[in-house]
Structure 1
Amino acid sequence: MEGIATWFASTLGQYISAKAVIFIVSLMPILECRGGLIVASLLKVNIWEAIPICIIGNILPIPFILLFIKRIFRWLKRFKWWKPKIEKLEKRAMNKSSDMSNGEFIGLLLFVGIPLPGTGAWTGSLIASLLEMDIKRASVAIFLGVLMATVIVSALSYGLLSAI
């Protein structure tokens, strides 16, 4: 992820403001807030300015994913090229959700909040949608998970752990 974040920082950083780069990276699946914070650190943006930008960028797509992803997937499955890709993505999301089935809220919060590859708000939203979780409960769990991941990644990206 750091390589991708570095590419965004060096490439986009030449043409648009550092804060815009951070926001765009935070909007993207896989990179999300975690990548945004790495980019912010690389671009020497103050942590207290970067955090709200990253959180807003990470949270903005979530309601749309929760509300529309199943319909989008259903539509895409009509096309031969997309059908196997969507089914594979759904299968991967459901496999990742196996740990969450008993305590959905806490499971979703921890899934999104622990910054590991393949976990995050986008995947958490997909899982919540596929599990047909209540949208309000899922949104709160995802938001709290994003906050948790933000604290962890901020500590790592800005070297806050070494200061303690």
Structure 2
Amino acid sequence: MSLEAQVVELLSSFPHWLATMIIGALPVFELRGAIPIALGVYGMHPVSAFIFAVMGNMLPVIPLLLFLDPVSTYLRRYAIFEKFFSWLFGRTQRNHSERFEKYGTLALTLFVAVPLPVTGAWTGCAAAFVFGIKFRHSLPAIFSGVLIAGLIVSVVTLAGMGLLAII
């Protein structure tokens, strides 16, 4: 049984709108999983699927943006985590800092907006943290990216289902 089928089965007793929000909040699925499941499995209206998936995808964003720094600071007391965070920050800033410095929050928005694996709200929060983008800039950038990704996933899913005309 696929991971998607397991999640759908696990959430089978939940109302479809709530299951869509939960799937949208999960780091592996986010919008890329929530919208196709809401449309294809639950038969939700595209607007409802979009709204609940976006709401779910944004649920973890504020806690992640607020708590990544304190948690990493706490964990850095231990040598293994200090080594990991130093490696992560050094690698990320070496490989991507020029783009983030040049384009700032626009780069964050576009990064979150591209509905591919290892992009999305969860990774966007991590990128905002690593690059030191302030909460007041990162939250609207991530929200904008989630909206764009949601539109892209909705259109692609509806087109794949031959239902694009019902929007």
Give the TM-score of the pair, scaled to structure 1: 0.82
- The one-letter code matched in structure 1 to 2:133 is M
Separation (CA, whole Å) in 1 of partners of 2:6 and 2:92 = 27
Does the aligned pair in 2 maintain the 1:115–1:152 contact within 8 Å? yes
- CA-based RMSD of the aligned residues comes to 2.6
Residue aligning to 1:115: 115
- Could you report, residue by residue, the CA deviation over 1:103-137 in whole angstroms, capped at 9, with x for unpaired residues? 01111011000111101111111111221112111
Does the C-alpha gap of structure 1 residues 75 and 143 become closer, same or farther in structure 2, counting only changes over 3 Å? Answer: same
Separation (CA, whole Å) in 2 of partners of 1:7 and 1:116 = 21
The within-5 A match list for 1:10-159 is 10-13=9-12, 15-41=13-39, 42-79=41-78, 94=93, 97-98=96-97, 99-159=99-159
Query: Which runs of 5 or more residues in structure 1 are unaligned?
Result: none
Separation (CA, whole Å) in 2 of partners of 1:4 and 1:90 = 31
Does the C-alpha gap of structure 1 residues 36 and 141 become closer, same or farther in structure 2, counting only changes over 3 Å? Answer: same
Q: CA deviation at 1:44?
A: 1.4
SS in structure 1 of the partner of residue 69 of structure 2: helix
Does the C-alpha gap of structure 1 residues 86 and 4 become closer, same or farther in structure 2, counting only changes over 3 Å? Answer: farther
Q: CA deviation at 1:5?
A: 2.9
Give the TM-score of the pair, scaled to structure 2: 0.81
- Highest Rg: 1 or 2? 2
Separation (CA, whole Å) in 2 of partners of 1:87 and 1:27 = 28
Separation (CA, whole Å) in 2 of partners of 1:96 and 1:161 = 38
Q: CA deviation at 1:6?
A: 3.2
Does the aligned pair in 2 maintain the 1:112–1:124 contact within 8 Å? yes
Q: CA deviation at 1:4?
A: 3.0
Tell me which stretches of 4 or more aligned residues in structure 1 moved more than 6 Å.
Answer: none
Separation (CA, whole Å) in 2 of partners of 1:91 and 1:39 = 38
% identical equivalent positions? 27
User: Which is worse superposed, 85-94 or 30-39?
Assistant: 85-94
Separation (CA, whole Å) in 2 of partners of 1:55 and 1:125 = 15
Does the aligned pair in 2 maintain the 1:26–1:57 contact within 8 Å? yes
